[in-house]
Amino acid sequence: MRKLKISELNRLTPEEFKLTEKHRVVAILDNVRSLHNVGSIFRTADALCIESVYLCGITATPPNNEIHKTALGAEDAVDWKYFAETTDAVAQLKKEAYIIVAVEQAEGSLMLTDFLAQKDAKYALIFGNEVKGVQQQVIDLCDICVEIPQYGTKHSFNVSVSAGIVLWEAIKQLKKTPYDR
């Protein structure tokens, strides 16, 4: 084996990325306070070619040097929108027929291992504040809650890790053919 050089990775330019068909997935950040987490989620959104990132409440927006340190330019390629209230972002996406999914530990939540994305559906996945999680008033607007199974003494992942896990799983499922299930 040989590690590939950057020139061998066939990366898209930001302009090519903007023209590329995206997966019909939006990541909503509900009051995410860490700029590192915001930048990391932008990078994940770029890597998985998702439609957009919605930044809500206290979540910082580009341009921002601290976001850029982690996003490494993904914040310039990935479409994003800002909403003062997460509930407004959810309301807009509901009108556009997105399935609204909170990534949260909640009564009746579905384990990620049991979540089956519908290939023709559009999804909005909500990731919450590092301490408080997704706001209850936002959960009240969701179609489902998805929870990541955990087996240790801690009962939460860092929000950027949660986003990586859940977005990757959703995209993996959306890319499958009916014969793969």
**Count of structural domains, the chain:** 1
Domain-located, residue 13: no
Domain-located, residue 9: no
> Two tokens at 133?
């999680």
The model carries a pTM of 0.94
DSSP H or E segment with residue 44: helix 35-47
- The residue among 17 and 164 whose pLDDT is bigger is 164
Domain-located, residue 100: yes
- Confidence grade of residue 176 (pLDDT, cut at 50, 70, 90): low
Identify the CA nearest to 71 among candidates 79, 58, 83, 62. 62
Angstrom distance (rounded) from CA 60 to CA 57? 8
Q: What's 50's domain CATH number?
A: 3.40.1280.10
Report CA-CA distances (Å) from 40 to 69, 82, 136, 137, 145. Answer: 9, 17, 25, 26, 22
* Domain coverage including residue 78: 21-180
pLDDT tens readout for residues 75-126: 999 999 999 999 999 999 999 999 999 999 999 999 999 999 999 999 999 9
